[in-house]
Structures are given as structure tokens and as C-alpha cells.
Structure 1
Amino acid sequence: MKHLVFFLLTISVLFDISIQTAAGDTLPTGIESQPNDDTVRTFSVKTFDRVRITGPFVVTIMGGNSFSVKASGPSLDLGAMAISSQNGTLLVQYTPVKRSENPNIDHGVVTVRITLPILKKAEFMELTRFSIKGFNELEYLDLIASDMANGFAEVNARNLRFTVHQLSSLVVQGESDRLKAYLQGKSTLKSYGLKVHSAAITADGMSKAEVYASETLDVTATGMSNVAYKGSPTIRVDSDRGSLIKAEPIK
């Protein structure tokens, strides 16, 4: 009986160690189980103002007074992700186990929650779903969505830059003085809810953009792209025959 108890305790310790060391470059500072058998991990990553997410995560980025990074999901999927910080950028990556290596693998959803005081740049790639809220009076924000990333942002920033590529989509609300947006590869920008003074939109490859501009609007549309706008801006247009630029009434 004593040998059995010792054996079970040894297995338990080894299992706990394996969970903690499988998280990637940054070890979690806390691990807890959820009622649905998901695991929650807290990562000790601080002092960053840029975020780069690669993989099919569900990501929430919130403005706050301190730094916080948490991930939740099946332990197998958490073990396939790596979270680290490099030169002021939080890096979140995912390397799933291939079905050819394990035919019985069943991947779940990994949710990542990030809190930080100031956000200067956020990049989402490869099927990431994201939302950004709680950032006001930013000087500059650069948002990039590519490779079928989809998300929503509610921000107030003096200068905004959006890059939406490769079947990605971005919905934005808030206020800004100046907006520059670049769309390519059947991508979509919906920003009627973003009130800007001046906007410059470049759309190519059957992309679609909706923008609200009150003062000036500069549009370049090629490759059967569509740009619709609201407001009464002074507009300059450079488009090919297959593209469409049209004004929409303010309702």
C-alpha cells in the first residue's frame, strides 16, 4: 500500500511539472482548472506596447493601468502555444500538433486576454479573431489583420493606420483626426462608426471599404474594389474601370 501511494504521488508531481514547462518561452505564474476542463494560465510578461498574434486564437485586448496576460483552453492546445516579449512586442504563437502525427487529435479554442496601458501596434495573422477596447487619447495606433483574421476595434487615436490583407476583415468605431487604410486580397473594412477628419484609403484585389470622413478623403481603388463613404469631405479619386466609389447618406 505504501508503494502504491508513493507511485501515485510521483506521477502527480511529474504531471504538474510537464504542464508548467509546456507553455512556451514564458512560463506561467499561475495555473487553474475551469469547470469545463479548460486550463487557465497567467503569464508574467510586462513592459510592452505592441502585440503580435499568430494563430487561431480568440483574443481580447483591453486598456488598463497595468499589464496582464492570460490564456485559457484545453491543456493540449495551451502546450502548443508560446508567449514571449521581445523589444517591446508581446508575441503569441501557435504550433498545433499535426493530425498526421496524432490522428485522434481534437483541437479546442484558446482564448487570450491581454491588458496594457498603451497600445501602439497590434498585428493579427492566421485566423485570429480579436477585439480591442478601452484605449482613449492615443497618439498613434497601427492595426494589421492578415491571412483570414477578423476583428473589432473601438479606439480614439489622433492617427490611425489599418492594413487589412488576404481575406481579412476589420470593424472599427471611435474617433480620429487622420486615417490611412490599405486593403488587399478580398478584404473588408467597415468603419462608418469611426468618425475621422481626413482619410486616405487604398483598396485593391476586390476589397471593400466603408469610411466616414468630415473634411478630406483620398481614395485609390483598383482590381474591382469598392469604397463607400459618408460625410461631406473634399474627395480625390484614382480608380480603374472595374472599381466603384460612392457616397452614402448619413442616417
Structure 2
Amino acid sequence: MKTNLVPLFLLALVASLSFAFHNPTEEVRTFNVNGFDKLDMGSAFTINVQQGSNFSVKASGRDEDLDDLDVNVSGGTLKVRYKNQKWGWNNRKNVRFEITMPQVRSMDFSGACTATVKGFRNQGNVDLDISGATTATIDLDADRVNVDFSGASTINLNGKATSMEGDVSGATTLKAYGLQLKTVKLEISGASGASVAATEKVDVDASGASSVRYRGTASVRSNTSGASSVRRDG
């Protein structure tokens, strides 16, 4: 009888250790920061940002990862990094941020972030800088959107703006049919792809086997080289 109990005990012990290993305790931290209208976040975080009347920054994840966070505001920019940059990515677990802010002027996401931004209305000029294999879905209403997208990132844009202008490079994908625009001006390169919609003007310089697809009634000026293309969709 005792002999049979030993394997059962060992099995239960292994199961409990496995559960503890795969399900580390998750903590939630609230950071007492405010007065920012710009974001600069540079690691593989999961980020949810929404418009609200008050400032709020919360992070959830493992204790050791949260302890290593450097969260501060400088010059109106909320900056988030890990203090110990030498600690390998494979030692990190996912850290999720929930951010609320009244207005947004710029967002800089890099380092394989996954970002969702929604609810921002009646914004002025907004700068979007996204790189490093980041995936972002952004919904906003703004006067003008300035973009710098690179590094094999994927960006989905929705909402409306008077104009969008900037660069798309490095095997990046921009999906912006859901962003209502009057004018678009893009330089696209490095085997990147973009889909845009505009009612007045589309101005594109495309190189390096890149492609742009457009919808709407806009007039089009395009300059292509190196197996690139600019075509109407539908």
C-alpha cells in the first residue's frame, strides 16, 4: 500500500511544481504619473491606450518584471523602458499596460510592442513612429497624421484626418483603408506595402519592390522604381 502511495505523491508534487512554474503570480502596479501627451515605449509590451479626462497608467505582469520597469514623464512624454536592458528577452514574461490620457500628440512604439489605441477624437497634429516588428491598431480623429513606420511592423489605422504624410520602409505593412483622408503623401521603400483611401490627392514615391493600393476619388501622382507599383483598388 505504501509503495503505491509514493508514485502518487511524486505525481502530485510534479503537477504542483509545473503549475507554479507555468502560472507565476501576476501583480498590478499603478504609476503616479501625469501631464503627458506623448508616448515612448520601447520593449515587447502589450499596450492599450484610450482617451479619458484623467491620467492613468497601470501595468500587470510578474513581480520581477514590474520591479524592473522605468516609468517616468519628461518633457510631456511618458517613457517606459526596462532598467536592466541586458536581461534577455527570453527571461521576460508579458507585461500589459493600460493607459488613459486626455490628448495625444505623438506615439513612439518599438521593440516588438503590440499596441491598441482607441477613442481619441478632436486631436490636432499627431506623430506616429512605429518600428522594430511592432504591431499597432490605432483609431483616432486628427487634423494631420505624420507617420514614420519601419522595421517589419504592421500598422492598422482607422478614424479620420485631413491629411497623412510620411515614410513607410523596411518590409512594413500599412493598412489604412479605415482612415478617412483628404490627402496622402507617402515615401515607401524596402518591400513595404500600404493601402490608403483619400478624396482629394494621393502622392506616392515608391521604390524597392514596394506597393501602394488606394481607394477613393483622389487624383494620383506616383513615381515608382525597382518593381514597385501604385494601383487603384476596385
TM-score of the superposed pair, with normalisation by structure 1: 0.81
Unaligned runs of 5+ in 1: 1-34, 100-104
Structure 1 position 107, deviation (Å):
2.5
Partner letter of residue 159 of structure 1? Answer: R
* Alignment partners' CA distance in 2, 1:244 and 1:110: 39
Task: Provide the residue aligned with 1:82 in structure 2.
Answer: 70
Relative to structure 1, the CA distance from residue 65 to residue 36 in structure 2 (aligned partners, 3 Å threshold; closer, same or farther) is farther
Kept after mapping to 1: 8 A contact 2:52/2:101: yes
Task: Provide the residue aligned with 1:176 in structure 2.
Answer: 161
Structure 1 position 181, deviation (Å):
3.1
Partner letter of residue 190 of structure 1? Answer: K
Partner letter of residue 98 of structure 1? Answer: W
Match of 2:54 among 56, 59, 66: 66
RMSD: 1.5
Matched, 1:138 2:123: yes
Partner letter of residue 230 of structure 2? Answer: I
Aligned residue pairs: how many?
Answer: 210
Structure 1 position 139, deviation (Å):
1.1
* Alignment partners' CA distance in 1, 2:86 and 2:162: 45
Task: Provide the residue aligned with 1:113 in structure 2.
Answer: 98
Task: Provide the residue aligned with 1:98 in structure 2.
Answer: 87
Matched position secondary structure for 1:77: helix
* Alignment partners' CA distance in 2, 1:107 and 1:145: 22
Matched position secondary structure for 1:78: helix
Matched position secondary structure for 1:66: coil
Match of 1:205 among 170, 186, 190: 190
* Alignment partners' CA distance in 2, 1:169 and 1:74: 27
Deviations 1:90-125 (A, max 9, x none): 0000235635xxxxx743110011111000000001
Task: Provide the residue aligned with 2:28 in structure 1.
Answer: 40
Task: Provide the residue aligned with 2:145 in structure 1.
Answer: 160
Partner letter of residue 231 of structure 2? Answer: K
Kept after mapping to 1: 8 A contact 2:174/2:193: yes
* Alignment partners' CA distance in 1, 2:85 and 2:222: 45
Task: Provide the residue aligned with 1:23 in structure 2.
Answer: none
Matched position secondary structure for 2:64: helix
Identity of paired residues, percent?
Answer: 29
Task: Provide the residue aligned with 1:51 in structure 2.
Answer: 39
* Alignment partners' CA distance in 2, 1:81 and 1:127: 17
* Alignment partners' CA distance in 2, 1:71 and 1:157: 27
* Alignment partners' CA distance in 2, 1:135 and 1:220: 30
Task: Provide the residue aligned with 2:110 in structure 1.
Answer: 125
Kept after mapping to 2: 8 A contact 1:183/1:202: yes
Kept after mapping to 1: 8 A contact 2:24/2:62: no
* Alignment partners' CA distance in 2, 1:137 and 1:54: 27
Structure 1 position 202, deviation (Å):
1.1
